[in-house]
Chains A and B, each alone.
Chain A
Amino acid sequence: MSDVLAVADHRKGALRDVSYELLTAGRELADATGGDLHVAVVSGDVDGFADSLNREGVDAIHTVDYGEEFNHDVYFQATTALADSLDPQFLLLPNSVNGLDYAPAVADELDLPLVTDAVGMSFGDELTVVREMYGSKVETAIDVHADRAIVTVRGAEWPPAEGAGDAEISAADVAIDEDAVGSRVTGFEEVAGGDVDITQADVLVSVGRGIEEEENLELIFDLAEAMDATVSASRPIVDNGWLEKGRQVGQSGKVVTPDVYLAVGISGAVQHVAGMKGSDTIIAINTDPNAPIFDIADYGVVGDLFEVVPELVEQFE
């Protein structure tokens, strides 16, 4: 019962990065508990996935060959069944959209405490999980006063596991009850890009909540025109319907890697940063000196965009 069980995440035939990161987080935790690292892979090309996941530090891989794509009822059944048979101390699941579609149900079913969105973990006498609150403004340490727990792990916080492993790969003895599957995935759709492809732009002027009103977007388009740049946006602008979804940068939008990314009135929530941290040069204008965008920016101005942007337009005209 000192073992760790991690469950991989995949979509459309490819393992997602968080799957390899879970191996690193899981190995670290298993070293601390003195147990083995088990990995489960459910649905899709499980044998191919198992070979890919057989990296250094993995002790055993369990495959559940049922269906092609993620279905939360299947993952729920497979994970609870594996937890019953393997008796792990800790379950590590991805803090992805799909991970959060079954991890809480597994926790409820197994009556285990759940800590989501972990950015750090340590184990002494007890498990301690580090996670953020208030939109990344603070971090908290949470002690888990229980022998067992489920933790969902945020992507890109642990490095991916490398190296060839010598895990034992086996088909798990798990029967999926088809009658208990109450949801059916009928397809996938990619959000239309609209007229503009922000992933192809060399220079992006990206606008966030700080713009306050839809009318004020004109200022951003003026700046983009003066700079010969393309306008992109953070989530709230698109949620408000002020710009089309194809212009959204972030975890649920597009991943962009322009030469220059000028973030105007964007605080830099982790979901946004996931979509633009690969930009060559990041420049931010924001009133809040503590905004997380300044943690990844190369250059910045702490100030009112309504004062700075008009001046900047003038500089380029």
Chain B
Amino acid sequence: MKVLVTVKEVAEVEDDFEIDGLEVAEQYLEYDLNEWDDYAVEEAVQMAEADDDVEVVSVTIGPERAEETIRMALAKGVDRAVRVWDDALEDAGLLDVAAKTRILQAVVEEEAPDLVLTGVQAADDAFGATGVSLANAIDFQWAAVVNALDVEGDVARLRRELEGGIEEVTEVDLPAVFTIQTGINEPRYASLRGIRQAQRKEIATYDLAGLGLDGDAVASDLEVTDMYEPESESDVTIFEGDADETAASLAETLRDQGVGAE
């Protein structure tokens, strides 16, 4: 069985930052493996550890810089990686769900996986939609926001995490795409041995033409036209001073609310 895991390198914004035009200024961004994808990678790697016949391939849409993140996934046990990038992607504005779907669909046609795992969402743009969109495009079954997964034969028994502490217990026929929620497992840290092995693992790179696509595939109907910091509607009282002073003010406030009263 082949498991394809989508892996995104996401930008995290520092606490203090500035917006430059329609983007957060580059110097305030730090890049890392998307947290949800870390859980998806772990889920796939655990499947491979339980069954020698499982191959895990990761796919990333991202520039060369993303290879550092891809190596992290390889170091955690992914067998090999695919990276898609193109000048057309460099120039494209917002890479929307439809564009990502077209690219990943082409990779699926290339790799022919039995199972696709994605994170529920990416930490940066948080559309939370690519996995289910892809499933429809490639004619797979799917389930979104999965927090327990057990694949047996051609059926997956899983749980979907609904709101309010409720879990839906569901069976889904394979092949399928599952979007993986944080907390489903405990993602491992890469071992030194894993990091060394990752250096020798293959990262195949494709441009759009290599996947049989052209620039139209990444054209989007969506355009970001403004970016700004949300206005705070806060009327919070902030206590100033050293830790002992702020703690004293906090304690006084808490006691006024009846906390600590015998």
Contact = CB atoms under 8 A, between A and B. Distances in A.
Interface stretch (B1-9, B127-135, B192-200, B207-215): B127-135
A113 to B, nearest CB: 4
Interface string B131-162: 11111110001111100000000000001111
A238 interface: yes
B183 A259 contact: no
B183 A142 contact: no
What range describes how many residues of B lie at the interface?
35 or more
B15 A288 contact: yes
A239 B183 contact: yes
Contacts of B183: 235, 238-239
Given A254-B165, A283-B253, A308-B243, A183 B96 contact: no
A137 B13 contact: yes
Contacts of B15: 287-291
* Interface SS of chain B: mixed
B132 A314 contact: no
Nearest to B164: A255
Interface in B1-43: 11-13, 15-17, 19, 22, 24
Given A114-B98, A132-B230, A183 B172 contact: yes
B165 A252 contact: yes
B205 interface: no
Majority DSSP secondary structure for residues of A touching B: mixed
A212 to B, nearest CB: 15
Contact of A189 (B96, B167, B230, B249): B167
Contacts of B173: 182-183
Nearest to A314: B247
B12 A191 contact: no
Interface of A: 11, 16, 70, 72, 76, 96-98, 100-105, 107-109, 111, 113-117, 128, 132-146, 149, 182-191, 202-203, 226-229, 235-236, 238-241, 245, 248, 251-255, 259-260, 262, 280-281, 283-285, 287-291, 294-304, 307-308, 310-312, 314-316
